Amino acid sequence: MGRLVYSAITSLDGYVADRDGRFDWSVPDEDVHTAVNELMRPVGTHLYGRRMYEVLVAWETWDVGSEPAAIQEYAALWRGADKVVYSRTLSEPASRRTRIEREFDPATVQHLATSSDADLLVGGPELAGQALHAGLVDDVHLFVSPVVVGGGTAALPDDLRVDLDLGGARRFDNGVVHLHYRVRR
């Protein structure tokens, strides 16, 4: 059975993008990228909303041959995973191993997780919020960047209560802190 994992890079004040939609302050260095890759290795399926997918689909065609090893590995992991994109407006996927679903159905996602040998990753705060509200998320991984942006797109929804147990914490030399929480059942 696969676990459903939510992972995000966030500011200290809890935003994945600032008020202008920018997230350039969150670009991971090689050390953080390597940790993200460790998290991604057991993932077989990525679940995305349209906006997150449109950001990440660049990994499909980006020529990473001259990039550091961590970026090359992430591209290979992303390309090797199945993707499910929840969108009412996209008609065709822009990447291989990708299908479009019109609605997020918790029962279907639960079945996908229980029938999978690999983990599933939910990407993007809106879709993750739906999965958290539905009680589907098993693990939350936040990579907290040393910046306060003062508003924008929240990493977690305001109207949510979930009890968590700390699974681990790791500090990186660039000031990022990785927090891993398990959802308490």
> For residue 50, what pLDDT is reported?
94
pLDDT digits (tens, 9 = 90+) for 153-163: 999 999 999 99
Q: Whole-angstrom Cα distance, residue 79 to residue 184?
A: 32
* Pick from 173, 185, 179: nearest CA to 14: 179
Residue range of the domain that includes 127: 4-183
pLDDT at position 75, please?
97
To the nearest 10°, the Cα dihedral for 54, 103, 95, 137?
A: 80
Q: Is 98 helix (H, G, I), strand (E, B) or coil?
A: strand
Amino acid identity, residue 80?
A: G
| pLDDT interval class at 183 (50, 70, 90) | very high
CATH number for the domain that contains residue 164: 3.40.430.10
Domain count of the fold of the chain: 1
Q: Cα–Cα distance between 185 and 168 in angstroms, integer?
A: 18
Q: What is the mean pLDDT of residues 78-99?
A: 97
Predicted local confidence at residue 62, as pLDDT: 93
At residue 22, φ and ψ (nearest 5 deg) are: -85, 145
* Angle, CA of 179, 146 and 168, to the nearest 5°: 15
Could you tell me the pLDDT band of residue 16, with boundaries at 50, 70 and 90? Answer: very high
Give the Cα separation of 116 and 66 in Å (integer).
Answer: 34
pLDDT score at 31: 97
Strand order in the sheet with 119-123: 98-101, 82-86, 43-49, 119-123, 4-11, 139-145, 177-183, 164-171
